Chains A and B, each alone.
Chain A
Amino acid sequence: MLKGHQSWIFNSKPVILSSAAVGGPFEAQGPLGSDFDLLHEDIWLGQDSYEKAEKKFLEQACEIAIQKANLKKEDIQFFISGDLMNQIISSSFAARTIGAPYLGIFGACSSSMEGLAIASLLIASKSAEYVVSATSSHNASAEKQFRYPTEYGSQKPPTAQWTVTGAGAALLAQEGDGPRVTSATIGRVIDMGISDPFNMGSAMAPAAVDTIEAHFRDFNISPDYYDVIATGDLGKIGHRIAGDLLAEHGLKIPREILTDCGILIYKKEQPVIAGGSGCACSATVTYGHFLNRMRKGELKRILIIATGALLSPLSYQQKESIPCIAHAVSIEM
C-alpha cells in the first residue's frame, strides 16, 4: 500500500523465512566472517572465469536459503535478482539453474534492497507464496568490467572502495517465523555531478540521504524508531558525508544507530582503502550479520538503505557524471 510519496507499507508483513550469505576469502578475514553460511578460500570457485565464479556464488546463496527453509527449488514461485555484470548475466544464468519464474533487476549495488522490496510487494499482494530475492558481486569481475585488470599496477586513490566477493539471498513467505519486512521506500535518481568512479562514496551519499529523509517523512517517525540504520556501501568517506548532510538537513541520527555495511564488513587493517562496495556488500551484511542478530534478539528494527551508482564503463569514459540511487527497506522482528 502506498504511504506518503514514495513508500510502501506492507500490512501483511512478509516473513523472511530464511536467508543466506556466501563470501570469499577476503570476507572470511573480516569481522563478520562467522555470519556467513559458506566461505570460499578460492575466488575462482573452481570455475574457469570470474564471471562463472560469481554466478556460482549466487546459485549457492539461493540454494542455501531454500534448503534452510526446508523447501525445494520447485516451491519457489518467483526469483528476483540483480548484479553488476553487463546484462546482469550472473542473475540470469543463476535463474537458469534455479528454474523458477524470474524477474531480473538492475539497481547496481542497490539491487539487494530493490529486490527485497519487490519480493515483499509480491508477497504482500498475495501474488506469490514463496519468493527468493538475491544478488551478487565479485571483486575481480567488477574490477575487470568497470576499472582495470586485477593485476594492473595502478595506484588507487584514498577514496576508492573494494568490491565485495559474495552473494546474499533471502526467501520470503506469507507466513512463518522470522524477521518481517514492514515497509520500503523507493529512491529517486540523484546526480550531484561527481564523475570519478574511484569516488563512489561521495557520489552515492546524497542519494542515501534523499531516501532516508523520504522514509522518515513518509512514515512520520523519528530515527530512534530503529535500532540500526545501515547504508549499503558508502564506505568511510560516504558515510561521513551522509551523516553530516543529514545533520545539516536537520535530521539527527545518533552516531551509534547510523552505520554502513561497507565499513562493517572489513577490518581496519584490511587493504580496502575506503571500505567495501558492490551488491553483495549490503546483501551479505544484511542477510548474514543483521538478520542473525535479529534472530538472536539483539536487534528489533532495522532500516537498510542500499545505495547504487548507476554508471556504466562507457558512460564514465564519455565523461558522464554518476547518477545514484538508494532504496530503503525496514525489517522488524
Chain B
Amino acid sequence: MSSKKNKKLTPVQQKYQSFAKAREPKPSVLRNCMRAFVSGGAICTFGQFLQWVFMTYFDFNEITAGNPTVAVLIIISVLLTGFGAYDHIAQWAGAGTIIPVTGFANTVASASIEHRSEGFVLGVGGNMFKLAGSVIAYGVFSAFVVAIIKITIQSLGGI
C-alpha cells in the first residue's frame, strides 16, 4: 500500500473505490466552465475598462497602459483577500478568479497573511511564495523555452 509509482490497488480496494465513486457527487464541469467564463470574462472586461481609462484620462498608450492596469487589479484582489472576501468569490467562480493575474495576487497575499504569526522573516518572507513559487519557477522556465524556440526559428530564416 505504499506509494510506489507502479502502485497497484488490491481487488478489495478497487472494489471499494468504485463503490464509493458511485456515491460521491461529481463536480459539475459544465456549470464550473460557465461560471469561470462569466467571472473570468468579467475580470478581463474590467481590465479592458481600466486600460481605456488610463489611455483616455492619463498619459498612456496601448502598450504602457498595461502596467498600471495590472497594478490596479492586483491591489483590488489583495484588498479583497485581506478583507476575507476573495476565497468566497473563488468558491463560486473557480478557475475564473484563479487564472487571471488576480489569482496570482491572491496566492501571494493569502500565504503572507496566513504566516504573519510566524514573524516577518520566517513567516511572511519565507512563505509568501509558498504557492506562487511554482508558478514563478515554471512560468520563467516556460518563457525561456519559448524564447529559445523563437530564436532558433528566426535564425533559421523563419518568421
A194-B20 contact given A50-B117, A144-B114, A153-B106, CB 8 Å threshold: yes
Closest to B117 in A: A49
Contact A151 B113 (CB under 8 A): yes
Contact B90 A149 (CB under 8 A): no
- Of B17, B27, B81, B130, the contact of A158 (CB 8 Å cutoff): B27
Interface assignment of B97: CB less than 8 Å from any CB of chain A: yes
Interface assignment of A155: CB less than 8 Å from any CB of chain B: yes
Interface assignment of A270: CB less than 8 Å from any CB of chain B: no
Contact A152 B117 (CB under 8 A): no
Using a CB-CB cutoff of 8 Å, which residues 220-253 of chain A contact chain B? 237, 240-241, 244-245, 248
| Complex interface: chain A residues within 8 A of B25 (CB) | 158-159, 237
Interface assignment of A54: CB less than 8 Å from any CB of chain B: no
Report the bound CA distance from A193 to B97 in whole Å: 32
| Complex interface: chain B residues within 8 A of A195 (CB) | 3
Closest to B84 in A: A151
Interface assignment of B34: CB less than 8 Å from any CB of chain A: no
- Of B10, B20, B93, B131, the contact of A152 (CB 8 Å cutoff): B131
| Complex interface: chain B residues within 8 A of A157 (CB) | 27
Report the bound CA distance from A50 to B87 in whole Å: 18
Contact A150 B87 (CB under 8 A): yes
> Number of B residues whose C-beta is below 8 Å from A?
43
The secondary structure that dominates the B interface is helix
Interface assignment of B9: CB less than 8 Å from any CB of chain A: yes
Report the bound CA distance from A89 to B93 in whole Å: 36
Query: A241 to nearest B CB, angstroms?
Result: 5
Q: What 1/0 mask marks residues of chain B from 120 to 135 whose CB sits below 8 Å from any chain A CB?
A: 0000000000110000
> Number of A residues whose C-beta is below 8 Å from B?
38
**Considering residues B16, B107, B110, which has the most beta carbons from chain A within 10 angstroms of its beta carbon?**
B16
A192-B23 contact given A153-B86, A153-B89, A154-B90, CB 8 Å threshold: no
Report the bound CA distance from A10 to B146 in whole Å: 70
Contact B103 A148 (CB under 8 A): no
Using a CB-CB cutoff of 8 Å, which residues 292-331 of chain A contact chain B? 318-321, 323
Using a CB-CB cutoff of 8 Å, which residues 119-157 of chain A contact chain B? 144, 148-157
| Complex interface: chain B residues within 8 A of A264 (CB) | none
- Of B1, B81, B94, the contact of A151 (CB 8 Å cutoff): B81
Interface assignment of A205: CB less than 8 Å from any CB of chain B: yes
Contact A318 B3 (CB under 8 A): yes
- Of A153, A191, A199, the contact of B90 (CB 8 Å cutoff): A153
A residues engaging B (CB < 8 A)?
A: 48-51, 144, 148-159, 191-195, 199, 202, 205-206, 237, 240-241, 244-245, 248, 271, 318-321, 323
B residues engaging A (CB < 8 A)?
A: 1-3, 9-10, 12-14, 16-17, 19-20, 23-27, 32, 81-82, 84, 86-87, 89-91, 93-95, 97-98, 103, 106-107, 109-111, 113-115, 117, 130-131
Q: A49-B117, A151-B86, A192-B20 are in contact. List 8 more A-B contacts (CB 8 A).
A: A149-B115, A152-B114, A153-B86, A153-B103, A155-B91, A191-B13, A240-B23, A320-B2
What are 7 A-B contacts with C-beta separation under 8 Å? A151-B114, A153-B89, A154-B87, A155-B32, A158-B26, A241-B20, A318-B3
